[in-house]
Each structure stands twice: as structure tokens, then as C-alpha cells.
Structure 1
Amino acid sequence: MSDTAIRFGIIGAGVAGRYHAQAIAQTPGARLMAVCAGHPERATALADAFNARVEPDVAALLACDDIDAVCICTPSGQHAEQGIAAAKAGKHVLVEKPLAITLADADALIDACRTAGVHLGVALQRRTDPDFCAAREAIAAGALGRPILGVVTIPYLRTQTYYDSAAWRGTWALDGGGALMNQGIHLVDLLIWLMGDEIVEVQAHTATLAHTIEVEDCAGATLRFASGALGTIAATTAAAPGFPHRVEVYGTQGGIQIEGEAIVRWETIHHAPPASLHVTSGSGRQEAGAGAYPTGISAIGHTRILGDFVAAIRECRQPLVSGSEARRALAVVLAIYESAREGKPVRPG
């Protein structure tokens, strides 16, 4: 593809839509052309803020000849249908997490993009953090020895007002789940990526303990990896006032602890931290960030994922987080839900 700008449309004008608009504005070689949303007034506000136009609906936006790629920032249950429509219209697709809310829909979206010859990327943006990338490379090179335990803790707060703010929130049909599917999938993905291993079995419990919603606001799961390593995931959106999440990987020669968006400890028997990896000095308290409110994350992750997506289109390569990569975390979350329903261990699909 030539060096002309990759022209984007955004479907959805909520919190995620604004993050994507900011990312496009900050990415050389990207330009926002149009926005559409179920709430026209939100589409107008977002388009006006970023010098774009409003299209009346998804079909109209996808019919535009001056749009090369779309960012799908709608409720999770709409991602697959809209992504498939975009692929059939010949548009590259960057979808906000999760990729879809069922594996059948995820596979249909992946297949549609492959058939159409368009790129599919997913906004699991923590994979773009330079420190996390350096940590992953070091773990893969054996800096922690053989990984034996992976831990994810997500003590978030989302108020009832948050769930009541939009009819889709907290529903199975459009949110696809609660603390794990909406908030926790980022950290499930990060754990799988850092461990460099597949989760082959989960055993779980879920509950709705503090909100009036269909989905879970509390979940706990034990994990077994293909290598024999074990793990745990604990997630809630009822931990007032909200705390930073933690992701930890321990091996036979050391461990890493991530709190919020910072690596707070890297300690091994034989290996110093990689020179490119920054460890927060001391035991400084991390801000709750996303643990306390949905907009409690920097836009830099979305800007990096958008920049990589633009580069992937130009270089005819897979994006950093492809559809098949994003499917792995989705499969684990869905297996946790199945295990909680059935009361037995489940192998992710």
C-alpha cells in the first residue's frame, strides 16, 4: 500500500470510540473520516471534536469509498456482526476488546476477514507496553527459569450507576459477561502472553454479589497450563473504592510482579532485569487507575495498537494482536463461565 493516509471510520461513540479517535489523531499516516453511532448526538460530538463527518448508520459508513479501515467500538455483542459486515465491504477491521462474545462469532469474524483479504486487529493494548514486551522476551529466554505459577488479581469497582448508564452493560446478550469479559479479559490476555503457554483446563466459580445485573461481578478460577504450570484468576467489580490489578509470573529462578500499569518487582536468582525494562523503585503505591473508573487508563496503549495496525496494513503483515491471538483469552473466559455453570473442569475451546 502507498504512503497515503489510512482513512478510518469509527462505529460507536462511547468511551472506547473516543480512545480510538484520539489514537487516530496521534498516529502519523492515519486520518479519521467519519463516525456513526446508535446515539446520533454522541456521534456528532465525537466527529466535531476530531474534524470528521457523521454517517447515519453502519451500512452508510461501510459504503463510503473514502474509508479504508474501521474501528468497532460498540457493545461487545455487536462486534462480530459489524466486523463481518466491514470485512465484506473490503474494510480493514480494528475491534475493541473482546473480539466477540462467543467462539463461533469470533471464528466467523476471523474467517470473514481472511476471506476478504483484510486485516483484523484487536485492542488488547497492554501487549504494546515496552516494559511488558521486554519482560515477555526475557521470560521466553529463560530469565525466570521454568514458569510454574501465573496469578491475575482484579479488585475493581464499577458502581450500579455505571451498569445503569447504558442498557447493554451487565447483560449476557451485549456485554457477554461481567468482571471477566468486560474488565478482566485484558489481564487474562496479558497472563497468557507473558507465560508463553496455553491454558488447557480451568475450574471456576462466579457470583453476582453486589450489583443488580445479569452477569457476574465476582469470579475465581484455577488454571492448568499445557506445560504443567498452574495459575489463578480472581476478579471483581465490587471492591470499593477500586484497586490496581496485579499480574504475576513466577518461575523456578525468579518472578515478576505487575501492579496497575507498572512492573513493581523483578527478582531472579541469576538474571538482572533486562536493560530495556523499567522496574518502579521501592514499593511505591500504584494508582487504582482502571480499577476505580473506566477511563482510568492512558490513551497511549490505544495509540500504539493503532500505530501497529496502520503499519501492519502497509507492510502486509499480521497486527500485533490478531484475531487468532485475541481468541485465546476469549476462549479462557468462556471456559471459566462454562466451568462455573457446570461445576466441573473445562478445557478452553
Structure 2
Amino acid sequence: MLKIAVAGAGVAGREHIGLIRQNPRARLCALVDSSPAAHAVAAAHGVPLFESLSDLFAASGLKPQGVILATPHQHQVRDAFACLQHFTPALMEKPMVNKFDDVVALRAALQFRAVPVLVGHRRRHSAVLAEAQRVIASGELGRIVSVNSSALFCKPDSYFSAGLWRKQVGGGPLLINLIHEIDNIRFLCGSSCGDIVAVQAMASNSVRGFEVEDSAAVTLRFENGSLGSLILSDAAAAPRSWEQTSGDDPAFARYADQDSCFVAGTLGSIAIPTLRRWQAKGEGSWNEAMRTDTLTPAKTHDNDDPSARQLEHFCDVIEGRCPPKVTVDDAARSLSVTLAIIKAVQTGGTVKPLDVRDNKVEAKSQTRLGATKRTLKPTQVDASTLAEIEGPEAS
């Protein structure tokens, strides 16, 4: 069995520990966390507790074969460097960092250490997304015209009363939820449309009136000229989000007949996650009914849970069976698009993700609402509170 250590005893870390205990290929060998609460977690699982990765790697006879980094985002690059220094494969939770400069430093370090680093965009391990991506990449939908993604859900009042930061700058859906949708879109359409090259966005806090946004609308342009749109809100009583439509997480109510993404091409379209497909007849006139069917994803794993599949993939990466499915470079592109969207909200203009990656624009990861709490105002922002965020799929 592979010896895997988990750094971080918070929500994400405990979830990873549970997955390790369920996987016959892996064994939890240590926990790394300096908080007092970590002692109980380590004791419950019968593993040694270390205050830092340096202490873990210094312990004789306990070198892990892999490390899962579920630490605050401000520490992830530091912790990844420790893994690289000791030639230990790592799984980094997303969004990986809170400053793009840290991505640059990590990418540079990877040039000198042939150590695999997997970034934890768990949806990439979904069989449903894999099947949709296969259909889109095959060309059977023709040239992709547009992609529309929806992340509409309602966080209850108790969610906000549980943590004051959730009402403040950095606690809204732009930081917590947006990067997952962007990564979905890039994964689905990247091979057909190229990467996202320009974004525009608006945000609002008009529903709750908190300092932080509760809704946002985004438009995207791909390399080949295809367009995309994304509507995002944590104040909408609606069933159209990945969590509520996919059934990946039993903590969320599921609406199996609903979709959260729709990709349209010149020859057909596909809805996700139901995998309903429409195919044009002849020249594709709207006067003629299209053929319709529903696809079934290929059964490649015994477990349909993307989180469990991600751990299985990490085990393969550790053993050298395959490269990481989500590399640091790939995850950095999703991060740059997300930061570009936040910048577009701040400025009201069009922002190129490439300019974020090349440091041509200052891409800070927070947006403050104006005094009226009705419209967004560009202002000085600070990225430090990103490290404190633990929301749905943020951890």
C-alpha cells in the first residue's frame, strides 16, 4: 500500500483522509497540522502528527510516497516546494495559490525537479464530463458556436452566520465557486475552441446587500472566435448548478433532469450532465426536427465518485503509471481566467487572461463593493483572506 500523508486537518484534509481509508491501494501514514484541533484528528486515525512538512520529512523511517496538500492557499506553494525538495509527489488543492506570482515560482521550480504535482480539480475525474468532452472533441457537433454554463444555487442564511468572512470581501462566489466552472469550460471546449483569450464581467450584491457580491454574469471569447457565457449566483433558488445536477456530492439536493452546461455546435448540441444530445439533419434548419438521444458515460472505474477517482489517479501518478491529469500549468490557466474575470468586474473592461499570466495587469483576487452596496466599484484589494475560505468545493 502507498504511504500517503495529508497536510491540513481542516474540512478538505478530513475529506481526503476518509477517501484514503476507503482506498485499498493507499494508507494514511501521517498528518501535518500545527493547530490544536489536529491532535484529535491524528489520534482518531492512529497516525503521528507533525507541525510542519519539514518535521515530517526529517522523521526517520516515515518518508511518505505522496503528500496531499490541503493547507491554506497562502501556504500551498511553500508546502509544494518542501515536497519537491524531497522528491515526493504532491496533490495540491485548488485554486492552488492566491497570487499568480506564486504560480510562476512553482512552475520555475518544476523545471528543476522531475516530481509530479497533481492539482485537485476533482471534476476532471467525472465520467460524465469525460464523455461530454469526448463528444465535443470528436467534431460530431461541428464547429462549436457557444457554451453556456450556469452556477445558480441558494446558500442558506446559516451559511453566512457561521462565518463573518462570508459576508465580506473574498467570501463570495467569484472566489469560491467561479474557478470550478471555468475549469469545466476549459476542459470541455479547449481541444475544439482553444483557450479562453478574453473576458468581460459584471457583478452585483443587490439581493443580500452584503459587502461581497452574490451574483455575477460573465462572457468569454475563445481562441477560435467561439463565445461563452456564465451566470453565477449563490442567492438564486434554482436547481442549475453542477452540485445539484451531477449528484457527485450527496450533501446537495439533486435534480437529475436538470443541466448546468450547454454546448452548441453547427451540427448539434449536448447538455451536461444529463448528456442529452441533439443532432441536426441535413443542413440543420430550425424548420426540421433534430435527432435526439441520451448518452451513457463509459464505465472505466468501479467508483463513480470523482473525488475517489482523483485519489486513484494520484496513486497511479505516484507509481509512475501516468502523468498528472491536471498539471500546474493547466491549473494556472484556469486561475488566470478567473483572476481576469475579477479584474474585469473591477474595471468594467475586457481583460485578457494572457495579460494576467504575463503580469501585464495587476490581478488581485478580491473585489470590494461600493458604499451603496448596489454596484461594484474598483478599489484596492488584498488577497490574504482567500486562505481563510472554506465553502462548497473551496476546500
Q: In the alignment, which residue of structure 1 is the partner of 2:353?
A: 348
* Residue identity in the other structure for 2:224: S
Q: In the alignment, which residue of structure 2 is the partner of 1:291?
A: none
* Residue identity in the other structure for 1:126: R
5 Å matches for 1:1-349? Answer: 5-41=1-37, 43-64=38-59, 65-159=62-156, 161-163=158-160, 165=162, 178-196=172-190, 197-209=194-206, 215-240=212-237, 244-245=241-242, 246-258=260-272, 262-269=273-280, 276-277=296-297, 300-315=305-320, 317-349=322-354
* Residue identity in the other structure for 1:250: A
**Following TM superposition, by how much is the alpha carbon of 1:339 offset from its aligned partner in structure 2, in angstroms?**
1.0
Contact 1:35 1:52 in 2 (8 A): yes
- For residues 20-64 of structure 1, the C-alpha deviation after alignment (integer angstroms, 9 at most, x for no partner) is 1122223333221111335332x2343344442222334323434
Residue 149 of structure 1 aligns to a residue in which SS?
Answer: strand
**Following TM superposition, by how much is the alpha carbon of 1:74 offset from its aligned partner in structure 2, in angstroms?**
2.4
Alpha carbons of structure 1 residues 338 and 308: separation in structure 2 relative to 1, 3 Å: same
Equivalent-residue separation in structure 2 for 1:171 and 1:91 (angstroms): 37
Contact 1:36 1:54 in 2 (8 A): yes
* Residue identity in the other structure for 2:267: Q
- For residues 190-242 of structure 1, the C-alpha deviation after alignment (integer angstroms, 9 at most, x for no partner) is 11111122100001112344568765332211111011100011112222477
Stretch moving more, 304-313 or 31-40: 31-40
Identical-pair percentage: 31
- For residues 89-122 of structure 1, the C-alpha deviation after alignment (integer angstroms, 9 at most, x for no partner) is 4322101111222222122223324423211111
Residue 149 of structure 2 aligns to a residue in which SS?
Answer: strand
- For residues 281-338 of structure 1, the C-alpha deviation after alignment (integer angstroms, 9 at most, x for no partner) is xxxxxxxxxxxxxxxxx99212111111221221264211111111121111000011
Alpha carbons of structure 1 residues 302 and 164: separation in structure 2 relative to 1, 3 Å: same
Q: Which runs of 5+ in 2 are unaligned?
A: 243-259, 282-290, 355-395
Aligned length: 319
Alpha carbons of structure 1 residues 233 and 36: separation in structure 2 relative to 1, 3 Å: same
Contact 1:222 1:230 in 2 (8 A): yes
Alpha carbons of structure 1 residues 238 and 61: separation in structure 2 relative to 1, 3 Å: farther
**Following TM superposition, by how much is the alpha carbon of 1:163 offset from its aligned partner in structure 2, in angstroms?**
4.8
Greater C-alpha radius of gyration: 2
Equivalent-residue separation in structure 1 for 2:211 and 2:132 (angstroms): 37
**Following TM superposition, by how much is the alpha carbon of 1:161 offset from its aligned partner in structure 2, in angstroms?**
4.4
Contact 1:110 1:120 in 2 (8 A): no
**Following TM superposition, by how much is the alpha carbon of 1:251 offset from its aligned partner in structure 2, in angstroms?**
0.8
Equivalent-residue separation in structure 2 for 1:33 and 1:254 (angstroms): 50
Equivalent-residue separation in structure 1 for 2:130 and 2:337 (angstroms): 22
TM-score (norm 1): 0.81
Q: In the alignment, which residue of structure 1 is the partner of 2:287?
A: none
Residue 40 of structure 1 aligns to a residue in which SS?
Answer: coil
**Following TM superposition, by how much is the alpha carbon of 1:273 offset from its aligned partner in structure 2, in angstroms?**
6.2
* Residue identity in the other structure for 1:46: V
Residue 115 of structure 1 aligns to a residue in which SS?
Answer: coil
* Residue identity in the other structure for 1:52: V
Equivalent-residue separation in structure 2 for 1:163 and 1:121 (angstroms): 32
Equivalent-residue separation in structure 2 for 1:169 and 1:68 (angstroms): 36
TM-score (norm 2): 0.72
Contact 1:68 1:92 in 2 (8 A): yes
Contact 2:275 2:295 in 1 (8 A): no
